Amino acid sequence: MNTTQLSVNPEKLINNLRFSFTQSTTVLGELMQNARRAGATFVSFEFSQDTRTLTVCDDGCGIACLKTLLTVAESGWDVDVIERECPFGLGFLSAIFACDAISVDSKGGRFSVDTAELLAFQSIAIEPVDWQGITRLTLTQFKPEADQVESQMRRLARGFPIEVRLNGVSLDRPRAVTSTLPFIETELGELYAYGLSQGEDWLRQSEYFHLYLQGLPVYHSHHERDPGHVIHLDSRRFLARLPDRDKLIDEAQVIAEVKHVLQREARQRLEAIKNQLSAVAFVQGYNTLKTYRCLDLLNDVPLLPQQVLAIIQDYPIKEGCRNVNLTAVSQPVSRSDVANGLVKVADLDDLDEVGALRWMFAWHRDYRVFRPGLDAGHWLFSHLVDLNGPAITLDIVNETHRAFFAGQWVSGQAVFCEQYRLTLNGESVDIDHDAVYDEDQDCFILPSRESSGLVVCQASSYYDEWDTFMESAKEADEWDFHNFVVANTADKPADALQRLLPTFGSCPALFSRTFQIVLGNDGDVVTVAEM
């Protein structure tokens, strides 16, 4: 019977491993890790672009056995480090692949060799040294460029627990566990909750978080430089991908757990903050509560946050791609004012969806408009007035006549009257000074005190199919409608004609002359004769 077994071609395997490292600068993080695991207080990188030489020094415990350093997949760390961090024994390979020659000077001796010789499995000589407590690696013909080295070093140093120097300059480490950030212990590891720690401004909030494993970055929920929560994952629980640990294993599962823990810690902190603050101060944190999905903490607070209420700031129009109808209330509104009817809050959809009649009713009845963003159990919902569903009626009072308006973008019948009445939910309002567009009847209602052309903006947003705002068409329709209203409300026909006539400043031949104009039954000019 023939038998076989798994075998390995060592030379090909080692040479192919060069393609397993994500980027050429991986070696920088590996050398930082070695210094940290060795108990160093600093790790120093000196890079000369001219000679393409990288020198790395640290004051750790040193490498006792250089043979172990050159043994792939074997770790020379002590039992505690191996148990805690699961070193792969592949880090030194990244250094070999990143340069043409390498020298090592440490506790266990010194060697200097071309990397091609190492990859060919040639024997090298190890010389004894009088070690002075500094481990030094020199990589000659280092392949990454200077700007790559600097940007990567700055990125890797941000969360690293020991000092990192580049060309004599200590790099910023604002997210390190040894920084001034107030980390707390969780089942994930060390966690800093952005804006929620004691003494911090809780009104600052962020959905973003940054994950570090053994001091190096492994995940950013958004851009790396964005402010956010910082978690240094427990390396006894979480693992990263071999060989360069740049991506978490079971990443989706880890991210879900991180979000769960962040949510829990945020809620606990926000509950404590709620107990410490007045209602006025607590509702100022609406955005923070919304970010951390803790809006239910507002359910029993007797004030409404400003962010959930708006006032109709001016004559309401179709907005299209703009937001012009609503503006936030200037002060929080109390539960007692809402319950007693001193402040009425409406559930009202966009004018583009429900039409102008309901918005004119809400505006003239001084309703506040609810902006969705409260927990379903909030007390406001028992007082919210529905202005979307119930029928609304329009009654015209003392109609005088009707005329047809034809503009560039809008047209329709215009009803001239003394005033009109809007009735909704048994509540009525009489309006004598603001026109309204009735979408169902495709007509403009013009009360006696209205003379502007703004109502055309209730019939159209003046955005074309490419979302381009047609300002010239809007201005032309407004002006034409204004003249249309003036002409239709003039006391004498001659006054109406005079208001409708354009100016003739560009035609001197007409100056100081008298003309007779004859109009037909439909308003068209029949004849014009000079007198």
Q: Tell how many helices (H) and how many strands (E) occur in the chain.
A: 16, 26
**pLDDT of amino acid 316:** 94
**pLDDT of amino acid 507:** 85
Residue-level length of the chain: 531
**pLDDT of amino acid 123:** 87
pTM of the model as a whole: 0.78
* Burial track 210-247 (b if 16+ CB lie within 10 A, e otherwise): bbbbbbbbbbebeeeeeebbbbbbebeebbbeebbbbe
- List the structure tokens of 42: 């600093």
Summarised one tens digit per residue, pLDDT across range 266-301 is: 999 999 999 999 999 999 999 999 999 999 999 999
**Mean pLDDT, residues 479-502:** 81
Summarised one tens digit per residue, pLDDT across range 150-184 is: 999 999 999 999 999 999 999 999 999 999 999 99
- List the structure tokens of 397: 């009072």
Reported as a pLDDT band with limits 50, 70 and 90, residue 11 is low
How far, in Å, are 146, 434, 515 from residue 418 at the CA level?
A: 80, 11, 35
- Half-sphere exposure at residue 196, Cβ-oriented, CA atoms within 13 angstroms: 29
DSSP state of 367: P
Q: Which residues share a beta bridge with 396?
A: 420
**pLDDT of amino acid 236:** 87
Q: Are 439 and 356 in contact (CB under 8 A)?
A: yes
As a whole number of angstroms, the distance between CA 104 and CA 109 comes to 8
Reported as a pLDDT band with limits 50, 70 and 90, residue 81 is very low
Higher per-residue confidence, 252 vs 98? 252
**pLDDT of amino acid 490:** 78
Summarised one tens digit per residue, pLDDT across range 421-453 is: 999 999 999 999 999 999 999 999 999 988 889
**pLDDT of amino acid 86:** 46
Neighbour-count burial of 271, counting CB atoms closer than 10 A to its CB (0-12 exposed, 13-18 middle, 19+ buried): exposed
Phi-psi region of 331 (alpha: psi -120 to 50; beta: other; left: phi over 0): beta
* Burial track 392-420 (b if 16+ CB lie within 10 A, e otherwise): bebebeeeeeeeebebbebebebbbbebb
What are the phi and psi torsion angles at 485 (to 5°)? -65, -45
Higher per-residue confidence, 120 vs 55? 55
- List the structure tokens of 8: 């390995």
Around Cβ 87, how many Cβ atoms within 10 Å?
18
How far, in Å, are 64, 77, 448 from residue 101 at the CA level?
A: 21, 25, 93
* Secondary structure (DSSP) of 250-312: THHHHHHHHHHHHHHHHHHHHHHHHHHS-HHHHHTTHHHHHHTT-GGGGTT-SEE-GGGEEEE
**pLDDT of amino acid 261:** 96
Q: Which of 102, 109, 103 is nearest to 126 (CA)?
A: 109
**pLDDT of amino acid 452:** 87
Around Cβ 259, how many Cβ atoms within 10 Å?
14
As a whole number of angstroms, the distance between CA 128 and CA 111 comes to 9
The per-residue pLDDT of the chain, averaged, comes to 88
Q: Are 45 and 56 in contact (CB under 8 A)?
A: yes
**pLDDT of amino acid 268:** 96
Reported as a pLDDT band with limits 50, 70 and 90, residue 73 is very low
* Burial track 276-294 (b if 16+ CB lie within 10 A, e otherwise): eeebeebbbbbebbbbbeb
Neighbour-count burial of 371, counting CB atoms closer than 10 A to its CB (0-12 exposed, 13-18 middle, 19+ buried): middle
**Mean pLDDT, residues 364-388:** 96
Three-state DSSP at 418 gives: strand
Q: Is the dihedral of CA 91, 93, 99, 104 positive or negative?
A: positive
Residue type at 136?
R
**pLDDT of amino acid 87:** 44
**Mean pLDDT, residues 389-395:** 96
* Secondary structure (DSSP) of 509-527: GGTT--EEEEE-TTS-EEE
Which pairing describes strands 189-192 and 184-185: parallel, antiparallel, or unpaired?
antiparallel
Structural domains in the chain plus CATH codes: 10-170 (3.30.565.10), 184-276 (no CATH), 302-388 (no CATH), 391-531 (no CATH)
Give the full edge-to-edge strand order of the sheet including 229-233: 184-185, 189-192, 229-233, 209-213, 216-220
Neighbour-count burial of 377, counting CB atoms closer than 10 A to its CB (0-12 exposed, 13-18 middle, 19+ buried): exposed
> How many Å separate Cα 400 from the centre of its chain?
54
Higher per-residue confidence, 92 vs 369? 369
Higher per-residue confidence, 406 vs 510? 406
Higher per-residue confidence, 21 vs 175? 175
DSSP state of 380: G
Higher per-residue confidence, 244 vs 33? 33
